[in-house]
Structures are given as C-alpha cells and as structure tokens.
Amino acid sequence: MIGYPSLRMLTRRAFTTSTAKHTVPLAYKLHEFPKVGSADGPPILFMHGLFGSKQNNRSISKALARDLNRLVYAIDLRNHGESPHDIRHDYTAMAEDVEGFIMEKSLEQPALIGHSMGAKVAMTVALRNPQTVSALIPVDNSPIDATLKSDFGKYVQAMRVIEDAKISRQSDADAILQKYEEALPIRQFLLTNLTRSPDTKAVKFRIPIKTLADSLDHLGDFPFRDPDEARYEGPTLFVRGTKSHYVADEALPLIGRFFPRFELLDIESGHWVISEKPEEFRKGVVDFLQRQLSS
C-alpha cells in the first residue's frame, strides 16, 4: 500500500450509502505518471461539466499526471461521453456514481477536481464522505442554489434542431449551431457529442438530450443546505473565472462554512476557465496539491 504524507487511508466502510442507490459504471481514461516507481500522492479524479466528457480534460489531465507524478482518472459522468444513460440526473445520483467508481477501483483518498456541473458533483462527494477525499478543487461553481445560464437551454434547443434536420455532415450541424452560439470554441465543444447513425448516416448526439433537458431546472441546485450538518474540512481550492458569475463574492461566506480550509484562485477568464487559461489553471492546481503533501 502506498503511503501519502499526512493522509489517512480510505476504507470501503467509510462511505455514506443510500438505500435507494442505483449507480451506473463510469467510463474513464487513466492518465499515468511518467516516472518509474510509486506515485507522489493520491490519485486525482477529474470531472467535466454539462455536455462535456473526459475528452475535454485530456490535455490538462496529462499535464497534471506529468507534473504531479500522480494517476489522473478523467471520468465521464452519467448521461455523458461513454458512460451509461439513466433517466435520473441530479447531483446525489452523480455523486453516488463517483463513490462507486472510487470503491470499484480501490482508490485511496483521491483528490477531486470538477468544472461547473462536475464541481458540484465533487463538492457533493466531499460533503457526503469527507474522510475519503484528500483535496477538493471546484472550478467555477458554488455550493448554492442558482439559476443556470440561459445558454444551456439554447444549446439543448439547437441540438434538437440538428437531430430533426437529419443532416449527415458536421459542418451542417455547425451552421445550425451558429444561430444559437457565436463562439467557435463553445460550438466545437458541443459538437464533440456528435456521432453518426450506422443506419441512416445522419449525425446525432450521443447524450440523452431529453433527459438532460428535463434536468436543467435542477442542475443549478445543490443538495446540501446547512453547513452545520455537512462540512468538508480538508484542503480546498475554489477556482473562479473573474468574468463569470458562478462564484460571486456574496457566496464566499457560505463557501467558508461548508469548506473552512478553502483558498480562492481568481483567473481572468469566463466560465470555461480550463480551456480559456489552461496554463494558469495548471500552475494553480500543481502548486496547491504540492503544498498539501509538504504541509
């Protein structure tokens, strides 16, 4: 068993369980550290945002595995990427999936990184099972109930139009999407979900559009309300884009109650912090996690 400085070991019995739990097995990509020998710290679980997948975090996962000499698991949350579809899509269900993944892989106190929707999943896991998480890095989201940006509803509408058009070329899908989103990087991000039907040759989306559309009203919610009843006292780094509204100054006192050891890293970007400023994000995460091992 590998020892990590100042970290207690994960035990399977430590997990909070739900009597109604129905988890799905999560697809993942393992990015291994390049050095020969043991890892320099616990593994990292990297969780994407809404409409994303493990592919979105491929480059940064490779960089973190290299720079930190740790295993990095980039995972597909339920209803995304190559993971199974399920009619239930909320933060408790997604957190239970991640907890199941940690148990299945026998991961010892992983560090959790999540962007947007993935940030709330990571926070939920840490609050449900604080003793099993060595460090927490939520990226541009807060532990509060908030309304999602209207952009996500527009994206669902665009996806439905694209599928109804039964087109066969990605360029045609992009032409439709331009009516809903001007920014090319965001369109390219959304179009990574396109696949081609083997029967009709028409492009379609691999994510369950109806399930995610029905879940939009609840994806701004957070399953915990009272910091006196659930708290994660491990090292926490909140990363926020200064041009985004998801981590407002007004939320910081509540963040401090849920996560009393939190630090704040501001990066001059919008909501898509990792893709907009990957080097600043990488440096901030590497510095933070290296400090945890040496403290």
Return the H-helix or E-strand segment holding 204. Answer: strand 203-205
Rounded Cα distance, 195 and 63, in Å: 28
Q: Using CA atoms, how far apart are residues 40 and 27, in angstroms rounded to an integer? A: 25
- Our answer to whether residue 115 is catalytic in this structure is no
> What are residue 163's phi and psi, to 5 degrees?
-65, -40
Nearest in space to 69 (alpha carbons), one of 91, 88, 42: 42
C-alpha span between 62 and 73 (Å, rounded): 10
Q: Which of 61, 116, 142, 275 is catalytic?
A: 116
CA-angle at 62, arms to 111 and 115, nearest 5°: 50
**Half-sphere exposure at residue 195, Cβ-oriented, CA atoms within 13 angstroms:** 10
Give 199's contacts (C-beta < 8 A, 6+ positions apart).
none
Active site residue 171: no
Catalytic residue among 48, 89, 115, 271: 271
DSSP-H helix ranges across the chain:
58-68, 91-104, 117-128, 150-165, 170-177, 184-191, 209-215, 252-258, 273-276, 278-294
Report, as residue numbers or ranges, the catalytic residues.
116, 271
